[in-house]
Amino acid sequence: MDRKVKKKGVNRKIVLAGFLFMLPAFLIILVTIIIPLLWNIYLSFCEWKGGGTPSFVGLANYIQSFTTKGTRDAIAHSLFIGIISTLVSVFLGVGFALALYRIKGKLSGAARVIFYSPSMIPMTVLGLLFTFIFAASDKGLLNAVLAAMGLESLKHAWLSDRNTVLWVIAFIQGWRSSGTIMMLSYTAMLNIPSSLFESAELEGCGFIKKSRYIILPLIKQTVRLALSMTLVWAFKTYDLVWTMTQGGPANLSMTAPIMMIKTGFSYNQYGYAAAIGIICTVLIGLCIIFGRSVLKGENYEY
Amino acid sequence: MNTKTKTRLKMPYIILCIIIIACLAVYIFPLIFSVVTSLKSSEEFYESIWALPKEFLYSNYIEAFQIGKIGAYMINSIIISAVSLVSIQVFALLAAYALSRLKIPHVEAFLLVLLLLQVLPTESVIIPLYIIVSKLHLLSVPYLATILGYVGWSLPGTIIILKNYFDTVPIDLLEAARIDGSSEFQTMTKIILPLMKAPMVTCLIMNFTYVWGELMWAQVTTLLTDKGVTITVGLLNFQGQYGTNWPLLTAAIVTVIVPLLIIFVALQKYFVAGLTAGGVKG
């Protein structure tokens, strides 16, 4: 009896310590995420210029977002960049991971660092670097390379042509995220026990068959996680676009986050900006659900 | 792998290596090109972008640091990153330990909320948070508002990752420590943390990459001031000032990239170990 009471007391003390340990993180998350999120949802139904009390306008901001061509285009551009760059990054990332898993050894180690390095470098820096590479004049690296190879006809004003600017941005975004996908997939592959390959090797399966039937199904969970991550990153493309084109020329590369910041901080239409933010959030959620359902299926435990 | 399969696979294996090396070249080329360009004078660059510099010119770097204030921006970013990373790590460790080992009721519900918050884009909170920090007059204190946002937004993800690692620490170890009369805090710092090196480095690198490179919030919090401007915002000012003076710009780019690469190469062993041990799954 006495012991039981004592144990209960100890347990309560542990739980109390637990809540104490969680308190700082909880407070910060409350102030930086939860309160702003609720406020943002409220604000998106209001008109507010930054001073005075917000006046409730119902769905007007949302209706305006979907009926204004500029905003609709910005959201469509974000979706385009999100989808293309996710495809690029999953393709490159998983491809590189498989190749590095196959070749092993020193080259694999060095390649891992180099393939991952773009993911470390700030987007702004990459943006500047790629502005340099894709610059329209002959001083642009890509145009210079094309000229040097005698492919003058392929030279482009990459960042001011409506047919190329979004592709260029989507590709850079995907290229950058591919490092993270490579790293996650590669480490997931390392966790596959070699016993699973034994029978495949006895059957004389090549690496391609092994990848198709053993490795890829087993790392599907990881790929799914990586997919949602890159989608979120890509949909949020702010820094890359801001550095390279600032949404221009003539809003051709305007993305939803840039639109939101401009609406809020340049035009002081905070309610409208909040609505754009909420629309982005919902669309990202839908994209993630869609992406995950494409890759759904059994999870294999090993 | 036995010798038989090895010889049979030799040809595709070599082709694969060649493809990888070719890709590596494409990855590295822009960086090398930037380094070369940064050592040229503007005139040399416009004469021919391919030519190697006649003599190594360090003046671009000196100019970037002095006139372009790259050095000052770097210091701001270093302060912001250091304070943010330490805060994230400490608060996340405490919370993750509590969620994993301190018998908190309804842990699953807490985790679900954290997971949802983690995928929430910054876009959905940035404007109200800006209003909050400006109402609280936090914007006049350099660094503070910027750091607050970074810490808050990084916490959910970091807590989830660290919690999963704490789950792998055997519970007997904790019980033994408790019986020996060690306090919860002592148990955590003396017994558990040494076991957590790899996951901590993993989180550190991930958060550092985010904090060092973030642009939107850094721009918003320094809209009305030129104090505490981070390297990302600074680089854009720099680009605005120097337009297409590529030798100078590439010098700034190289200055920002090289320390990052050094840090990563130094820590990458732990990074991979941390990712592998955790078995990140979704």
Give this prediction's pTM. Answer: 0.83
Residues in B 43-62 with any Cβ partner in A closer than 8 A: 45-46, 49-50
Encoded amino acid at B161, one letter? I
Q: Does A242 contact chain B (CB < 8 Å)?
A: yes
Domain boundary among B43, B59, B75: B59
Q: Does B14 contact chain A (CB < 8 Å)?
A: no
C-alpha span between A119 and B209 (Å, rounded) = 8
Domains of chain A: 68-294 (1.10.3720.10)
Among A154-158, B177-181, B229-233, which is the least confidently predicted range? A154-158
Instruction: Identify the residue among B26, B110, B124 best suited for mutation to test binding to A, counting A beta carbons within 10 A and taking the highest.
Output: B124
Partner-chain contact A124 B34, CB within 8 Å: no
Q: Residue B265's CB: how many other CB atoms inside 10 A? A: 13
C-alpha span between B266 and B258 (Å, rounded) = 12
Chain B residues near residue A274 by CB distance under 8 angstroms: 127-128
The CA distance from B215 to the nearest CA of chain A, in Å, is 6
| Co-location of B255 and B123 in the same domain | yes
Q: How many domains is chain B built from?
A: 2
Give me the CATH number covering residue B180. Answer: 1.10.3720.10
Domain boundary among B17, B44, B59: B59
Residues in A 249-278 with any Cβ partner in B closer than 8 A: 256-257, 260-261, 264-265, 270, 273-274, 276-278
Most confident of A149-153, A201-205, B146-150: B146-150
Residues in B 151-170 with any Cβ partner in A closer than 8 A: 151-153, 155-156, 159
Give buried/exposed letters for B28-38 (b at 16+ CB in 10 A, else e). Answer: eebbebbebbb
What lies within 8 Å, CB to CB, of A169 at 6+ separation is: A81, A237, A240, A241, A244, A245, A253
The three-point CA angle B205-B130-B93 to 5° equals 35
Q: How confident is the model at residue A297 (pLDDT cuts 50, 70, 90)?
A: low
Whether A181 and A223 have beta carbons less than 8 Å apart is answered as yes
Percent of chain A beyond pLDDT 90? 10
Q: What is the pLDDT of residues A197-231, one digit of tens each?
A: 777 777 777 777 777 777 777 778 778 877 877 88
Q: Does B259 contact chain A (CB < 8 Å)?
A: no
Q: Which of B216, B191, B55 is nearest to B129 (CA)?
A: B216
pLDDT of residue B95: 93
What lies within 8 Å, CB to CB, of A168 at 6+ separation is: A130, A134, A158, A159
Asked if residue B246 has pLDDT above 60, the reply is yes
In this prediction, residues A176-188 reach a mean pLDDT of 87
Please report, for residues A9, A15, B101, B182, B186, the alpha-carbon distance to residue A6 in angstroms, rounded to integers and kept in the order given.
5, 14, 19, 17, 21
C-alpha span between B268 and B274 (Å, rounded) = 10
Q: How confident is the model at residue B3 (pLDDT cuts 50, 70, 90)?
A: very low
| Co-location of B41 and B145 in the same domain | no
In this prediction, residues B50-65 reach a mean pLDDT of 77
Among B10-14, B232-236, B254-258, which is the least confidently predicted range? B10-14
Whether A271 and A47 have beta carbons less than 8 Å apart is answered as yes
| Co-location of B128 and B232 in the same domain | yes
Partner-chain contact B20 A239, CB within 8 Å: no
| Co-location of B93 and B7 in the same domain | no
**Closest alpha carbon within chain A to B233:** A124
Q: Residue B113's CB: how many other CB atoms inside 10 A? A: 13
Q: Which two tokens mark A251?
A: 């809003």
Q: How far apart are the first and last CA of chain B?
A: 31
pLDDT of residue A7: 62
Q: What is the pLDDT of residues B158-171, one digit of tens each?
A: 998 888 888 887 77
Domain boundary among B17, B35, B59: B59
The CA distance from A282 to the nearest CA of chain B, in Å, is 9
Most confident of A53-67, A135-149, B75-89, B237-251: B75-89
**Closest alpha carbon within chain A to B32:** A129
| Co-location of B220 and B122 in the same domain | yes
| Co-location of B31 and B106 in the same domain | no
SS (H, E, C) B22-63: HHHHHHHHHHHHHHHHHCCCHHHHHHCCCCCCCCCCCHHHHH
Q: Does B200 contact chain A (CB < 8 Å)?
A: no
| Co-location of B53 and B153 in the same domain | no
SS3 assignment, position A248: coil
Q: Which two tokens mark B94?
A: 């405490």
| Co-location of B176 and B50 in the same domain | no
The CA distance from B223 to the nearest CA of chain A, in Å, is 9
Q: What is the pLDDT of residues B60-99, one digit of tens each?
A: 888 888 777 888 888 999 999 999 999 999 999 999 988 8
In this prediction, residues A76-98 reach a mean pLDDT of 90
The CA distance from A64 to the nearest CA of chain B, in Å, is 18
For B12, the domain range is 3-59
Partner-chain contact B91 A228, CB within 8 Å: no
Q: Residue A116's CB: how many other CB atoms inside 10 A? A: 22
| Co-location of B52 and B66 in the same domain | no
Instruction: Identify the residue among B19, B125, B207, B250 best suited for mutation to test binding to A, counting A beta carbons within 10 A and taking the highest.
Output: B125
Percent of chain A beyond pLDDT 70? 92
Residue with the two structure tokens 């000229």 = A147
- DSSP E strand stretches across chain A: 46-47, 55-56
Residues in B 118-137 with any Cβ partner in A closer than 8 A: 119-129, 131-132
| Co-location of B227 and B254 in the same domain | yes
Among B45, B131, B215, beta carbon nearest to A238: B215
In this prediction, residues A179-184 reach a mean pLDDT of 87
Partner-chain contact B91 A235, CB within 8 Å: no
In this prediction, residues A262-283 reach a mean pLDDT of 88
Q: Does B214 contact chain A (CB < 8 Å)?
A: yes
| Co-location of B47 and B97 in the same domain | no
Q: Does A35 contact chain B (CB < 8 Å)?
A: yes
Chain A residues near residue B205 by CB distance under 8 angstroms: 120
Work out the mean pLDDT of chain A and round it to a whole number: 82
Partner-chain contact B91 A25, CB within 8 Å: yes
C-alpha span between A272 and A45 (Å, rounded) = 8
Size of interface A-B (CB pairs under 8 A): 272
| Co-location of B29 and B120 in the same domain | no
